[in-house]
Amino acid sequence: MSESDELNLTVRYTGNGEHVLDVPARDMTLEEWESLPLRLRYAARHLYTGIPSMDEPKPEQPIQQKSRVRKQGE
């Protein structure tokens, strides 16, 4: 690995053998990390350091609708 490659590796794998299917279990560049679908990044975020904030909404989270309680006689 060249020195320029090392400088581009900003997302470090710390999973100690754990992995998420379809996510490389290795160090990645930020560009590689961001090219992964959001649902995979969210699932694998605990296995890496140096990742951008995951303040994005949880992927595929069902929208909860408020149910209205009907009172008797309505």
**Residue 15 in this model has a pLDDT that exceeds 80:** yes
Q: What is the pLDDT of residues 16-33, one digit of tens each?
A: 999 999 999 999 999 999
Take residue 69 and report the two structure tokens written for it: 């309680």
Q: Name the residue with higher pLDDT: 14 or 54.
A: 14
- pLDDT for res 53: 74
Q: What is the pTM of this model?
A: 0.61
| CA–CA separation, 29 and 52 (whole Å) | 12
List all residues 6 or more positions away from 8 whose beta carbon is below 8 Å from its beta carbon: 29, 30, 31
| CA–CA separation, 44 and 25 (whole Å) | 10
Secondary structure of residue 66 in the 3-state scheme? coil
- pLDDT for res 67: 55
Q: Quick one: what percent of the chain has pLDDT higher than 90? A: 53
